[in-house]
Amino acid sequence: MRNILLKIIILRFNFEIMFRNYTCGELRLSNLNQEVILAGWVQSSRNLGGMTFIDLRDRYGITQIVFNMEDDENLCLAARKLGREFVIQVKGTVLERSSKNLNRPTGEIEIKAKELNLLNASETPPFTIEDESDGGDELRMKYRYLDIRRNPVKEKLLFRHQVSLETRKYLSDLHFTEIETPYLIKSTPEGARDFVVPSRMNQGQFYALPQSPQTFKQILMVAGMDRYFQIVRCFRDEDLRADRQPEFTQIDCEMAFVNREDILSTFEGLMKHLFKTILKIDLPDFQRMSYDDAMHHYGSDKPDLRFDMKIQYLNSAMQNKGFVVFDSAELVAGIVCKAAAEKYTNKDINDLTEWVKRPQMGAKGLVYIKYNLDGTIKSSIGKFFSDEALQQLAIEYGIEKGDMFLILAGDKDKTIKQCGELRLEMAKRLDIISKDVFSAFWVVDFPLLEWDDDAQRFFAMHHPFTSPLPQDLEKLKSNDREILKSIRAAAYDMVINGAEVGGGSIRIHDRALQSQNFKLLGFSEKEAEEQFGFLLGAFEYGAPPHGGIAFGLDRVCAIMQGSTSIRDYIAFPKNNQGRDTMIDSPSTLDQKQMTELGIKIS
Amino acid sequence: MRNILLKIIILRFNFEIMFRNYTCGELRLSNLNQEVILAGWVQSSRNLGGMTFIDLRDRYGITQIVFNMEDDENLCLAARKLGREFVIQVKGTVLERSSKNLNRPTGEIEIKAKELNLLNASETPPFTIEDESDGGDELRMKYRYLDIRRNPVKEKLLFRHQVSLETRKYLSDLHFTEIETPYLIKSTPEGARDFVVPSRMNQGQFYALPQSPQTFKQILMVAGMDRYFQIVRCFRDEDLRADRQPEFTQIDCEMAFVNREDILSTFEGLMKHLFKTILKIDLPDFQRMSYDDAMHHYGSDKPDLRFDMKIQYLNSAMQNKGFVVFDSAELVAGIVCKAAAEKYTNKDINDLTEWVKRPQMGAKGLVYIKYNLDGTIKSSIGKFFSDEALQQLAIEYGIEKGDMFLILAGDKDKTIKQCGELRLEMAKRLDIISKDVFSAFWVVDFPLLEWDDDAQRFFAMHHPFTSPLPQDLEKLKSNDREILKSIRAAAYDMVINGAEVGGGSIRIHDRALQSQNFKLLGFSEKEAEEQFGFLLGAFEYGAPPHGGIAFGLDRVCAIMQGSTSIRDYIAFPKNNQGRDTMIDSPSTLDQKQMTELGIKIS
């Protein structure tokens, strides 16, 4: 037996042979009686005494191979020796299967083997190569090459390729030019932390890896390139939360001589193109919603509009009725959960109360009012509000029998955000989000500035190159913090199913306005010049009006497929400690490298 | 006057307007009498008293705008105030020009201006924005955004986009999947120097930027992805010679279950596709030439076959005739320059002799034999060789009247390479290389190993993952240096017009053979495990036979356009000191960043 394997193993070192003339995904009844050569991995094998069946797998599918003791005993015995994930080549004839597997595109045929060649053996894999694997996250990351063999991971990588390709087609057809910008650039303290690269030729100096090609794409507009895009890696040295990667890919775009409408319609078009060509879904035209409206109605700048459940404002209805929690609050607000009164138990309410009190949410408590189907009312504030008062509330807010009102109170901004979180959570708990619906729209008119209490200064909400809305330009001259807070930016986000898939803005293209904006953000003139002098300089040589947008490629992929995690769209992601456990990186350098670079570990 | 400008300057801050409805490159006679809006840069303006003409430029072309004192004096006066590179918007009517400029696609029409809006002013640019600029290299790099406005640079960036796009189309149609591999990987001392990135979260440890995604693409083959490509940035921290960049872009490809022929034909197909779709040129089928033949006939592993001029071997013809320089040499060899005898003067010969003696070439001298048209012979070795002997040489080597023989002598390997260099140089000096011809072919069967005298060890000629040819496998077991040198690799280069545009190999996919190869290259088992343990590990879980290739994208672009420099195909190249002079990078970090990263300058 061993001899047979040894004899055929020699094929490994012969690369003049033709390894296959079909893939494991393409043979059909129309190929009946053809002589074919397939190659792939042994997915499974079944030994039924006289016959041995092997499921042979490659990227394209699975084909059943059959070996018969009567026809060729040696071959059949050799086949029985093959373990899972062995790499083999099979020559044989396409036959019709007697028991067809119609769940599989190749399930009507099988290959009767005439020749079997072992291309490589395999150790027993540490987890099963099946759609549902028994491997934990850590194990699958360490053996990522086995994980990628699994359909769910493989399909995501193929999907991502399609999204990239269709993005490039759409934009290129609109005369966008893909231009590569450098990866070895310059560190700027503003924004997130940079990854840096010591320069050997300029000792003591460092490059930085780009957090985005923002300044370069603006420079390209000044350079007259007009319509730029790039599918480009970006880097951020942040403490990693779940679903954040130190390196990630952006669809980065910029246009000159355009107004906001030009940009929104161009990239609404991109998203429609992706959904249409890849998913065969026609997205309707995108609505526009102001940031203020989004916050007011949904408590979020990226609301999930697959369900309604708007925030209800209750100050006038519920304050000054003797309930101190409400009376002392800046805001009393809540959401109405349709038809939830009867199915939501006391235990559910208690769970939810704990949930809103978690530090991440920070609510002090939760008030509920159940409007039961039989007309009775049950609430946690019966002591302060009569049934009549609560019935009156129902009329005022259009609440029906069977509905449940959930109410929070406290500081205005916080309570609105808490209501937004609660809204999302209840939609999940009540399972009212339809999986096949896509809600895509634009949030516009973001605030230009965000006040940071710790740093006692303003930060740019989008980035320091974002233009204010023309009608708010005058406010820039104010010293009043509230007036400055109210300045709106020509910034916009594309939101799909409650996720921000892309965002951008019209940029400042005027040197004086850019300088003024830097000043507002606490840059000294010297700092602005050191960090962005080249851009300010470029603005002096005929900078056109311009604006742009960037999409998170992995996020777009995940949203399109209704997936909650971006990690599997990345072939080789890093873990939460920023490590690649497969290649065991980062790692130490040898002393020679450190010396050449002129750096030491401190 | 100033008032007019001030009034119209306000448009800069209004981005609800439509900036243009045509580009400066698209209006024709068929648009006659249309009302249009154009926007762009003032290329030039001519004031002819009653009329002012402005050439308005954008990425797509130039359109003439005409202002008439009689029609609108204020507008015409405002137009006269516009300087070069001012950004303006013009509304007007398309008219037929009286004096047409047929060198320009828009040259039959002009726009009679009705409205002029200044979108941005410009300082006087530091060099002219013309096809032939008066700016030196350094100035143009510092103001790269102005340089890119020039047609020759802009066109190269547009060309590069086309090459990328068509590459992606061709490969995607063949079921190649573009998969992004990580940029934050692991440093390996083998090969060129790595750029490294200190890890803040894993202090004292470093990532490295990839010199190529070699190991990742092999891992993807083990992962079953079958046909991979990626247009990807690569990084090498080398001392920069002219035309080398610390970051450069590769078309990186890998295939599984293929033999060498499959790969060569697939990527010959890619190059034919690029030439066909972009240049409308049908490349003929590529010849294959062995490395040995290339070195023997052309003294180079990337010969320029647009001209013949093969190396002639002269040991038997010219040794032992009493000329000690030839007699003591391991090799006497030369090239025949057709029809060069009469036009090549003594001064030319002296120049050439100096040229071959430069340290880069290192020849000791140069022998010439001129076969004049009148039948006489003039040579630098008349003392040792009679005219009859030289005539005999001419017969033997097919030399005709008017030809010139140039001969070098010395150490065999060096002399062959010198002949190869001399061949290229003479083709240039004699201007016999046709510009419109493309010679594309494969060089195959490279040596597996290169002996390094300084390090006293073998290095991989391609890289350590390259497979030997099957028929040379046995030689791997030898301890004889000459036998090891003679091992051929399954490696191949695509050569076009004397440049290596791409190269690759069939890889080792067998763990034992890979370990043996590492050992041959001087890796200890521990080193091999530390650096490539993940790849060796992957080979134990069913690695398929595979191979691949990588092309230098900028090199491909330059060759296709007959350009000698890759630099202008890169939007933001670095100079020879690795600096980006536009953004002034690399630069120092602030102490806070250094502390967070746990590194110091030593």
Burial zone of B195 (CB within 10 Å; 0-12 exposed, 13-18 middle, 19+ buried)? buried
- For B429, the 3-state DSSP assignment is helix
To which H or E segment does residue A62 belong? strand A61-68
Mean pLDDT, chain B, rounded, equals 93
For position B385, what pLDDT does the model report? 94
Averaged pLDDT for residues A489-505? 97
The pLDDT assigned to B191 comes to 73
- Distance from the Cα of A254 to chain B's closest Cα (Å) equals 14
Residue A585 distance to chain B (closest CA, Å): 5
pLDDT value for B568? 87
pLDDT at B57 over 80: yes
Min Cα–Cα distance to chain B from A195, Å = 7
Please report which confidence band the pLDDT of residue A14 belongs to, taking 50, 70 and 90 as the band edges: low
What pLDDT digit, counting tens, does each position of B339-359 carry?
999 999 999 999 999 999 999
Residue closest to A501 by CA, chosen among A436, A442, A569:
A442
Taking alpha carbons only, the member of A360, A147, A357 closest to residue A241 is A360
- B208 to chain A: nearest residue by CA? A586
User: Cα–Cα distance between A521 and A543 in angstroms, integer?
Assistant: 22
Does the distance separating the beta carbons of B571 and A220 come in below 8 Å? Answer: yes
**Contact status, residue A590 vs residue B189, Cβ threshold 8 Å:** yes
Please indicate whether, in this complex, the C-beta atoms of B257 and A39 are within 8 angstroms of each other. Answer: yes
Residue-wise pLDDT tens digits, A153-187: 999 999 999 999 999 999 999 999 999 999 999 98
Whole-angstrom distance between the N-terminal and C-terminal Cα of chain B? 60
* B-chain residue closest to A120, CA distance: B542
Q: How many other CB atoms are there within 10 angstroms of residue B282's CB atom?
A: 8
**Preceding omega of B545 cis (within 30 degrees of 0):** no
Q: For residue B283, what pLDDT is reported?
A: 97
* pLDDT tens digit sequence for A388-402: 999 999 999 999 999
pLDDT tops 90 at residue B45? yes
Class of domain B2-120: mainly beta
pLDDT at A579 over 50: yes
CA dihedral A154, A157, A159, A164 (to 10 degrees): -160
Q: What's the mean pLDDT in B301-325? A: 95
Task: Find which of B13, B128, B143, B169 to mutate to test the A interface (most A CBs within 10 Å of its CB).
Answer: B13
Question: Is B41–A181 a contact, with Cβ atoms under 8 angstroms apart?
Answer: no
Tokens in use for B438?
């493309």
Instruction: Kindly determine whether residue A589 and residue B196, on different chains, have CB atoms separated by under 8 Å.
Output: yes
Q: Do B205 and A177 touch (CB under 8 A)?
A: no
Closest partner residue to B204 (CB to CB) among A208, A490, A588 is: A588
Mean pLDDT of chain A: 93
| A85, A517, A541, A602, best to mutate vs chain B, most B CBs in 10 Å | A541
Considering CB atoms only, which of B145, B544, B601 is closest to A120?
Answer: B544
Query: Which CATH fold would you assign to the domain B307-429?
Result: Gyrase A; domain 2 (3.30.1360)
> How far, in whole angstroms, is CA A383 from its chain's centroid?
46
pLDDT tens for B361-385 read 999 999 999 999 999 999 999 999 9
Closest-CA residue of B relative to A87 is: B542
Query: Which residues, including other chains, have CB under 8 Å from residue A416's CB and lie 6 or more apart?
Result: A295, A296, A299, A311, A331, A333
Structure tokens at A506: 């019209």
CA torsion B479→B481→B486→B487, rounded to 10°? 40
Residues of B in contact with A203 (CB under 8 A): 601
Please give the residue that has the higher pLDDT: either A421 or B596.
A421
Spatial contact of B232 and B181, defined as CB atoms under 8 Å apart = yes
For chain A, the domains span 2-120, 154-290+439-570, 307-429
pLDDT in tens, B81-123: 999 999 999 999 999 999 999 999 999 999 999 999 999 999 9
**Closest by Cα among A419, A172, A447, A368 to B164:** A172
- Report the percent of chain A where pLDDT is more than 70: 97
Share of chain B above pLDDT 70, in %: 97
pLDDT computed for residue A13 by the predictor? 53
Whether B87 and A595 lie within 8 Å, measured CB to CB = no
DSSP assignment string, A122-141: BPPPSS--SSS-S--HHHHH
Which two three-digit tokens encode residue A268? 């609404």
d(CA A533, nearest CA chain B) in Å: 8
- Tell me the pLDDT band of B399, cut-offs 50, 70 and 90: very high
The kind and range of the H/E element at A493 are strand A491-496
Q: From the CA of A577, how many Å to the nearest CA of chain B?
A: 7
Contact flag B540-A161 (C-beta cutoff 8 Å): no
How far is the alpha carbon of A487 from chain B, nearest alpha carbon, in Å? 15
pLDDT band at residue A118 under the 50/70/90 scheme: very high
- Mutate which: B120, B235, B570, vs A, most A CBs within 10 A: B120
Strands (DSSP E) along B104-191, which ranges? 109-120, 177-178
Q: What is the DSSP string of A574-590?
A: --TTS-BTTTTBSBPPP
* Secondary structure (3-state) at A444: strand
Kindly state the average pLDDT of the residues A352-356.
Answer: 96
B247 and A177: CB-CB below 8 Å? no
Of A13, A20, A161, nearest to B470 by CB-CB distance is A13
Mean pLDDT of A446-466: 91
Which of A226, A570, A602 lies nearest to residue B59, judging by beta carbons? A226
Strand partners, B231: B251
Q: Label residue B13 by pLDDT band (50, 70, 90).
A: low
| Residue B572 contacts residue A216 (beta carbons within 8 Å) | yes
Nearest CA in chain B to A578: B201
Q: Is the pLDDT of residue A17 over 90?
A: no
What confidence category does residue B9 fall into, taking pLDDT thresholds of 50, 70 and 90? very low
Three-class SS string for B522-544? CCCHHHHHHHHHHHHHHCCECCC
Q: Does the beta-carbon distance from A580 to B246 stay under 8 Å? A: no
Q: What residues of chain A lie within 8 A of the CB of B39, using their CB?
A: 257, 544
What value does the mean pLDDT take over residues A104-125? 96
Report yes or no on whether pTM surpasses 0.90. Answer: yes
HSE value, Cβ hemisphere, 13 Å, CA-based, for A314: 31
Inter-chain contact B259–A177, Cβ cutoff 8 Å? no
**pLDDT (0 to 100) of residue B2:** 40
CA distance B251 to A74: 45
Chain B partners of A58 at a C-beta cutoff of 8 Å?
224, 226, 257
Q: Is the pLDDT of residue A221 over 80?
A: yes
Count of beta carbons in the 10 Å neighbourhood of residue A322: 10
Residue-wise pLDDT for A271-314, tens only, equals: 999 999 999 999 999 999 999 999 999 999 999 999 999 999 99
Residue B15 has what pLDDT? Answer: 54
Q: Is the pLDDT of residue B514 over 80?
A: yes
In this structure, whether the domain defined by B154-290+439-570 belongs to CATH 3.40.190.10 is answered with: no
pLDDT computed for residue B435 by the predictor: 84
CB atoms B589 and A195 under 8 Å: no
Which of A164, A204, A207 minimizes the C-alpha distance to A185? A207
Q: List chain B residues with CB under 8 Å of A130.
A: none
- ipTM tops the 0.85 cut: yes
Q: Nearest C-alpha of chain A: how many angstroms from B500?
A: 22
